[in-house]
Structure 1
Amino acid sequence: DKIEVLENYQVKSTIVNPKINNVDVFSIISDDAFAYVNFLQLSHGSIVRSHTMEIKKKLEESDKELLQLAIIEIRQRFNSQSKNLLLPFSCAIGDDIKVTVPKLGDKKKLLELSERNSKYYRQERFKQVKITDPDRHTNRIMAQMKTDLHLAEEPRHIECFDNSNIQGSNPVAACVVFRNGKPFKKEYRHFNIKTVDGPDDFKSMEEVVYRRYKRLLEEDSGLPQLIVIDGGKGQLSSAVKSLDLLGLRGKIAIIGIAKRLEEIYFPNDPIPLYLDKKSETLKIIQQLRNEAHRFGINFHRNKRSKAAIDSELERIRGVGKKTAEELLKNFKSVNRIKKASIEDLSKTVGNAMAKKIYENFH
């Protein structure tokens, strides 16, 4: 008990208000599996003790039921004799104990401090669990995502799509895959846009989603439980069209994330969902979106630079695509081709062509 008290001691003896004397403050926060109750003990206006208890839920107990049990246990453990309690909601503790649910002032601030301690303790526990019991950590996040996004099943396999085209050149798309909330890089895929002329995000999204899931169906590969589309209602509607064509509508959950306010869109629902900015669900969706963007941009950049290199060599009269590829294969870069002597160039393309290339760069 002493070690636990020491680990959870988060506040020094802070003067709050000399008029607040011999008061016990309790707060509770909870998730699907655990509740966290923080206890602050005040004496002569100073916080003299802080302790947080973790309670594993066995049934569907309410926060009120769990808080009542925790108050009795904690007060017995620390031998608290205080007759005044500050609580987040009214609870029946005993006839001789006065319960106050503060709305304003220093008492309300004390309750908020206690809640912050509960949240801080929970975050620290999450960090420990992530290291010591990664399966429990993953299971908790998957359950949280299922609840937050109103899904029929946990999203163990998520895929996210992003389009990349800069000034309409070399349109490409990327698909990244997360399994159990973590990147699964060997399943990432790039797409060259084949059926769309010019920059058209909606048509491009329609094409890549169709190609991706047509292929998975043909190969009888496992389908994801959730698809995330980087974009708002327009891109989401385009992706949904492809799922309709493939007969997958309703079999895979699909959402869009808009960049401006990080709002989540669902098909045929004009009102977006706003997740708490600190929620782990939103963090995973943002990570998916950012990873898809990074993966797509890198592919787009490589494709564009390759096109620029090819065109620079092909502008030389007599140099075609095959010759350009042969030169790059042997010299590795345009810069090395520029510095090469006629003798070196002739080993790859013959004397006449070597002379043309040399004269072009000199």
Structure 2
Amino acid sequence: MKKVSLILSLFSVLVGISQPYEFQTIKEIPCTPVISQGITGTCWSFSTTSFLEAEIIRLTGKKIDLSEMYTVRNTYPKKAENYVMRQGKAQFSEGGLSHDVINSIREFGLVPNSVYNGINGEENKHNHTELQALLEGMLKVFVENPNKKLSSNWKPSVQAVLDIYLGKNPTEFIFEEKKYTPKSFLNYTKINPADYVSLTSFTDQAYYSSFIINIPDNFSNGSYYNLPLDELILNIDEALEKGFTLAMDCDVSEPYFSGKYGIAVVPENEIDNKTILTEIKPEKNITSEFRQQEFENLSTQDDHLMHIVGKVKDQKGNIYYKVKNSWGSENLGNDGFIHMSVSYLKLKTISVLVHKEGLMTKTKKALGL
């Protein structure tokens, strides 16, 4: 009898140690459905467009499927000019950041996806493999300057390729039986590009000031307000509590980030790198100094952008952010959303974009907003 009791006790201990995740919603802000960016490197547009869609819901109550590719189409020439005028001494890639979307809508406005989906020709989904290779190869020829003088054809050539692969920019269109231009449609959505701010946290820069983050995709030299790490987290929590979502730039290259399981966590012990994706395990305590170290040794890089839309907790009370991804929902954990722990966000999030009214009062005052 004692042996049976001992076995049952050991079983109970083991069950207590190995606990599969059970999530309960704490806060969920309305957003549009998870979709896929396809075979493209345009997560920056998908995530920030999703963020804008949530903003439109918040501001107007309307659910509008915006065109991600309209912004991509209008940002490519900016990246091409940066590359050519720097004579190839800059990155030219599919990547970008949230402020590139804000810059684009400020200059070019917005259009619905039904008007411009960016799928031209024989494709039935987004695939920019050929487009990117063709543009990059063409720009390298212009930079190499075989005629010893930069051809005036380079800008029209970029536009022509984009027209072929993504489609020509619409100038007027009908939406819900009314005629709009991209600029008048932006006004219709109530989105004001001046209302959005980018936040980050680095120890090598002065707090409550802005600076340009040195990351490859920041071709447009966007500035970020620098906050102490704990205050950055508090502002993310404040925004969510007020009903504001956030676009985020982060690193998803670690083995403890999984689209398959819909989990992003930071194990205290490396031995738990795999098991922590399905079971609750102790997590590493993240300090601002460790965050800075991991960024400077390139363990943390900006390789993906997503959209924070809420918070959940597990059965032990641990808090996670509900993050909308752009890898689709089929065969992925949590229906294509990622449940990201506080530790992971502290360590691996480069920056967030948020409406300035979502910030804490003391932070707004310190930043002069």
TM-score (norm 1): 0.20
Q: Which has the higher contact order (CA 8 A, sep 6+)?
A: 2
* Greater helix content: 1
TM-score by structure 2 length? 0.20
Q: Which has the higher strand share?
A: 1
> Highest Rg: 1 or 2?
1
